[in-house]
Structure 1
Amino acid sequence: MTSTDFTTLLAAAKLPERTVPICLRGDLVAEFEDLERQLEDELRTPAVSLEGDGSGAIADRMEALRAEMQAHTYPFRLRAMARPAWRAFVAAHPPRKDDAGEVDERDRIIGVNIETFYPALVRASVVDPQLDDAQWARLLDEVLTDRQFDELANAAWGLNRREVDVPFSPAASRMTRGSATE
């Protein structure tokens, strides 16, 4: 690679991004799980009539529910921070200290105040959707589960602190390899 090639690459460089799909209708997830249990029960019970066991109707409802869940899922797009911005961001959330001046055990591992750092990290990293303060408060305090919040926080942390590499898709690789030989 020549310096001209690098100059071209540098001019087109962008910070890493990632999307995290989040279903904003947790009630649908619960209904889906309930139907899944019902389906398992139906499949374990031998059919008594020639008309079937009802599992087909349950499976149909599950598929309709899956489509409804997809319609209520938003792909949150997150972007990494440039290194100076990241360093300043981390410095803005110093670890807490107890009365004796010792660093709080929960904050010691990563060196930040985990109570303030992660919510701020998610807000700073999400570039789509663009939310106002009231929407952020509702999303973080009333809508997202702890698990969903962790998915966003882990993605934001990973964009800034983990290796960024060219992704590999085994499924796409199989498809392109198979079509190349035909």
Structure 2
Amino acid sequence: MTDFKSLLAAARLPERTVPICLRGDLTAEFEDLERQLDDALRTPATSLKGDGSGAIADRMEALRSEMLAHTYRFRLRAMTRPRWHAFVAEHPPRPDGDQVDARDRVRGVNVETFFPALVRESVVDPQLDAGEWDRLIGEVLTDRQFDELSTAAWSLNRGEVDIPFSPAASRMTRSSGTE
């Protein structure tokens, strides 16, 4: 059994990667092909050539490869506890009369300023300058993609950190006899 001092010496802050496809136009094309494939599979073939589903599936696979080529795996890292508390304090909830703004009340921070800053603070790869961040957040990412990054950043700092489990890897190592 490893002693605590050895574990402490090797300790690192939690990290996570979030894959983001930066070519949203490809996503739309893929979704269109999915609809075409569904239609083709539901329509009975009227010729020996078939229903065309094979060609659609081939195009989908090629498009999927293209999407992967335009996908970046953002690496995020948690903050230390003191940095997290200071960071939260930098984004206090906004007042709304005698109350706290309803959107800010749940998280305890100004959600308008906090989440963009949280993503910038948490992403360690890629390293971007201010202009690149502005373009990424303001012009490139969808709201959903931004939510994926901000959820991962929040979770790294406020969620559970546990030992991941992969059912697929577990089945493979059990069936191959490796330990």
Asked whether the two chains share a fold, i.e. TM above 0.5, the reply is: yes
Q: What residue in structure 2 maps to residue 108 of structure 1?
A: 105
User: For 1:165, which of 162, 167, 177 is the aligned residue?
Assistant: 162
Q: What residue in structure 1 maps to residue 149 of structure 2?
A: 152
Q: What residue in structure 1 maps to residue 85 of structure 2?
A: 87
TM-superposition CA deviations, 1:114-150 (whole Å, max 9, x none): 0000000000000000001111001000110111000
Query: Distance between the aligned counterparts of 1:49 and 1:109, measured in 2?
Result: 59
1:120 is aligned to 2:113: no
Query: Distance between the aligned counterparts of 2:164 and 2:106, measured in 1?
Result: 29
Query: Distance between the aligned counterparts of 1:87 and 1:25, measured in 2?
Result: 36
Report the alpha carbon displacement of residue 97 of structure 1 after superposing the two structures with TM. 0.4
TM-superposition CA deviations, 1:48-75 (whole Å, max 9, x none): 1112221111110000000000000000
TM superposition outliers: structure 1 runs of 4+ over 3 Å: none
Cα RMSD after superposing both structures: 1.1
Q: What residue in structure 2 maps to residue 63 of structure 1?
A: 61
User: For 1:45, which of 39, 43, 46 is the aligned residue?
Assistant: 43
Structure 2: tracts of 5 or more residues without a match: none
| Equivalent residue letter for 1:144 | L
Query: Distance between the aligned counterparts of 1:37 and 1:15, measured in 2?
Result: 43
| Equivalent residue letter for 1:126 | V
Report the alpha carbon displacement of residue 7 of structure 1 after superposing the two structures with TM. 0.9
TM-superposition CA deviations, 1:145-181 (whole Å, max 9, x none): 1110000000000000011001000000000011118
Report the alpha carbon displacement of residue 101 of structure 1 after superposing the two structures with TM. 3.3
Query: Distance between the aligned counterparts of 2:46 and 2:160, measured in 1?
Result: 57
1:77 is aligned to 2:75: yes
Q: Secondary structure at the match of 2:95?
A: coil
1:6 is aligned to 2:4: yes
Query: Distance between the aligned counterparts of 1:27 and 1:66, measured in 2?
Result: 12
Q: TM-score, normalised by structure 1?
A: 0.95
Q: Secondary structure at the match of 2:12?
A: coil
